[in-house]
């Protein structure tokens, strides 16, 4: 996995697991790979992966069955969508709007680009 320097690695791993839940790779109440298995998948130290799992558990996205492993919580996908939407609206939209204004990009141009993005990604089965 390629990591960005602007965000803690354990949070990037947590984001990846959330993406996998949203994409249906791990369903509600289903076991996810162990800490060691997931560490091997993303090629990091098991302690870093453990920190990701603990973070996701604190967010009620996964839960631990002692001696069995970690499982996706009921309602995890809905919770992930809610948390991401809140974060996006609070942290990213303002910067995005500022860039549109600064660069004099009309909103209708962005609308056209968004529609094209959806069209292309549906065609390529990427959505």
**Residue 38 maps to a domain:** yes
Residue 126 has pLDDT above 70, yes or no: no
Supply the pLDDT for residue 2.
Answer: 87
Mean pLDDT of 93-100: 92
- Are residues 113 and 96 in contact, defined by beta-carbon separation less than 8 angstroms? no
**Residue 45 maps to a domain:** yes
**Residue 51 maps to a domain:** yes
**Residue 88 maps to a domain:** no
Mean pLDDT of 2-25: 94
Which structural domain range is residue 47 located in?
A: 9-76
**Residue 15 maps to a domain:** yes
Mean pLDDT of 84-106: 93
Q: pTM to 2 decimals?
A: 0.78
What total of structural domains would you count in the chain? 1
CA distance 81 to 21: 11
- Nearest 5°: the CA angle 62, 66, 69 is 50
What percentage of the chain carries pLDDT values higher than 70? 97
**Residue 102 maps to a domain:** no
Q: What is the CATH number of the domain that holds 56?
A: 1.10.10.10
Supply the pLDDT for residue 1.
Answer: 84
Supply the pLDDT for residue 121.
Answer: 84
**Residue 122 maps to a domain:** no
Query: SS3 for 103?
Result: coil
pLDDT digits (tens, 9 = 90+) for 35-64: 999 999 999 999 999 999 999 999 999 999
Query: SS3 for 104?
Result: coil
Supply the pLDDT for residue 122.
Answer: 79
**Residue 101 maps to a domain:** no
Average pLDDT, the chain: 94
């Amino acid at each position: 996995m390629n990591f960005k320097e602007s965000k803690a690695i354990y949070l990037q791993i947590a984001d990846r697991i959330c993406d996998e839940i949203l994409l249906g790779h791990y369903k509600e109440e289903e076991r996810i790979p162990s800490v060691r298995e997931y560490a091997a998948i993303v090629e990091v130290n098991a302690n870093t992966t453990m920190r990701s799992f603990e973070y996701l558990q604190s967010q009620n996205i996964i839960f631990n069955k002692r001696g069995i492993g970690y499982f996706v919580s009921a309602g995890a996908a809905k919770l992930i969508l809610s948390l991401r939407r809140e974060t996006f609206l609070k942290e990213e939209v303002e910067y995005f709007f500022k860039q549109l204004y600064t660069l004099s990009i009309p909103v209708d141009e962005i609308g056209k680009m968004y529609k094209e993005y959806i069209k292309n990604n549906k065609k390529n089965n990427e959505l």
